[in-house]
Structure 1
C-alpha cells in the first residue's frame, strides 16, 4: 500500500520507504492512501484469531505485498511477546493494561515492532534514531533498539520533567543509546527533533530516522491492541463499546481511529487529556490556540502541540466524519488524584494517566454502554506520586528494580539546535 505526505500529497512512498524516511517534506506525516474497511462477518472472524496472528493480518493490510505474511508474522511474534489483559474494574467498565512489556508502557508495542521491521528492511546500512520523549517513549525505544548492529539511538527528554524511574529505565543503558536532558519542555524537545530532520546534511550524514509516533510503523502496531480488547469483550459489549484514550501526542488515538476505519466494533472514542488541553479546546471552539505546556502529574501527556493531530484531521476529512463526533474531556491534577483514590476503592491501583482516561470515561458513559480505558504505564513508573496520593507502597517490578540504583548516563544540553547538532555530529566523528 502506498502512503502520502499529508502536507505534499504528491510525495508518495511505500511502507518500507516510510519506515526508513520517518517524515516527508516540510515535516509532513505519512498517511495511508487507502483506508480499507472489512465487513462485520470478516471482522468477527478476525476476533476469533489469537493476538499474534490477528495483529500480523492487520499490519499486512497496510504493508500489502512488500513483505510476505510469514515475515510479518515472525516480526510481530518477536515484538508482541507479552500479554494484553483486559481487567474488570466495575460492572460496566474495564481497563486495558498495555504495560506488560519490557519497559512497562504501551510504547513497547510500537517501538519493538518498528525495531523489528527496521532491522529487516535496512540491509545493514548505519542508521541514527533521533526521538523525543515525555517519559515512556524513551524507554521503549531505547530497549527496543539496544544492542542492534548499525543502529545508534539519540533520545531527547525535558530535564526534570519526567519521573525519576522513567529516567532510570532508559538513561542507564549506554552502548548504542545516547540520552540528552534538554533545558525545556517536551514541545521544545520535539521541535529540536523536527529541526534536525530539516537539516539535509544531518539526515544524509547520520542516516537519520525517528522512532516517535510520527513513524507510521509505530501507529500500525498500536492498532492491534484495540482489536485484542474488542476480542476479549466482544460478547459482552455488543457494539456498545466506548474507549477512552489518555492523549498527549495523539498517536494512540490516531491508531484507535484507524482501527475503526478497518471495522473495529466500537461505538465511540473519547480523547482524554490533562490541563494541556489544546485539542479539547479546539474541539469545543474550533480555534487552535496552544498554551505554554504545564507540568502535571501525568507528565507523558504534557504536550501542547501534539504531533499526530494532523493525522486525526486527515482521517476525519477522508472519511467525511464530523470532528464533533469525537468526544473529549480534560482533567486537572486534583481530580486525577481523587480519581486514583476512587479506583483504589474499587480494587484497582492506577497511575495518573490511566486515572484521567477513567475519569473522562466515567463522566461520559451512558446507560447500556460498556467502557474501556487504556492503562498506558505501570503504576511503579510513578512510584513517588502514586504512593503519596494513595498512601500505599508500590513494589518495583524487576525491570525497574534492576535499574533504580544505576547512575544516569545522560548529557545535558540547552534548548538550542546548535547544541544538539554539535552533539549529534560529535557522536559520529
Structure 2
C-alpha cells in the first residue's frame, strides 16, 4: 500500500527511491575521494621539502684574478678562487643544486628576474688577501680575512631564502675547512728551518686563524620593502584572484540559473521557483560571461584598493589591476564553461583543477624545486602557478617579463581562449541537438 504525504496524495515508488542507500552513500564516497586527493597533494607537498630538493638554481661568481706568490727564489701565480670554485662544484650534490657558474652581470640579471635563488661571490682580490693572511700569520702587521659573499634573493620567498642559507652554511663551511687545511700546511712548510736550525712552530692563535681563514658574509640582494609579508603577499594575492574567478563564476552561475527558472531560489524560509525562461544554453552562457567580465573589473579594483589601504607596496598599480582583471576573467569564463558542459559535476572539476591540484603546484610557499617532481609537471599548465608568477613579477620584480609576467599573461590568455572556444562549442552543440534544460517528465501514478 502506498503511503500518503500531508496533502493526502499517495507517494509512489519512484519518490521513495530518493532515499535508497546508494543515493545516500554516493556523496559520502565523492567527498572521501576528494579528501584523499587533498591529503596526498597537500601532505606530499610539505612533508619533506629537503628530501625533494632538485635542480635548485644558485649562481657561482668567481671574480678572482689570482696573485703572484714568492716561494724561496721562485714566483708562482696562483688562483685560489678557482680552487674554491672547483671545490664547491665537487661538494655540491648535482641532483639537488643547479650550481651555475656565471659572470657578475649575468648573475645579477638572473637574481633580478628570479631565475636563481642565491649567488656565491668570490671577490677579485681573494687570492691576494689569502696570500697576505698566510704571510701575515707569521709576520707582524694588520691583516684581514678574505671574504666570500652569499647573496640571498628574498623576493623569491622565505623558504627559498632558507634553503640558500642552509646550503651556504654547509657548503661554504666545508670550503672554509679545506682552504684552512691547505693554508696551514703551506705556512708550516714555509717555516721549516734549514738543517741544524731550531724548529719554528705556529702559535695556537695563528693555527686558529689559519684553520678558518675565510670571512663568510651573508647579505640580501634587493631586500623586500615593508608590508610584503616576507614574500608571501604575492602568493595570497594570486590566491585571491583565482578564488574570485572560480567562486565568483559558481555564484553567478547559480544566481542567474535561479533567476531564469532553471533552479529554485531559496533564502532562509523563503522559497520560490520561477517559471523556466525560454532561452538557449548559448545565450545563457553569454549572459553569465557578461556578468563575470563586469565582476572581474570591479573586484580587481576593489582588491587592489584593499591592498593599498593595508599598506601593501604596489609599484605598478595599473599593471596589477589589468592583470588581476584578466586572471579573473580567464578563470571565471573557464569555470562557467565547465559548468555549462557537465552541470553540477563541474563544481567538482573546478575544485580539483583550480584548488586541489593548483595550490601545492603553485610554488608560492615552497619552491617547485623543493617539491616532488610531479609537481613540476603540474606547474607547467596548472593555472595557480601561472597566476603566481605573473603577480610576483608585478609586486616584487617591477613587472619584469622574464620574472614570470610574460608567462603569466600568455597562459591567462591561452586559458581564456580555451574556455571561450570550449564553452561556445559545447553549448552550441547542445542547442543544435535539442538538449533543452527542462525537468524530466513526472512518472505516472501507480494504478
Question: Normalising to structure 2: TM-score of the pair?
Answer: 0.21
Structure of greater Rg: 2
Query: Which of the pair has the greater relative contact order for Cα pairs under 8 Å at 6+ separation?
Result: 1
Question: Which of the two has greater helix per residue?
Answer: 2
Question: Which of the two has greater strand per residue?
Answer: 1
Question: Normalising to structure 1: TM-score of the pair?
Answer: 0.22
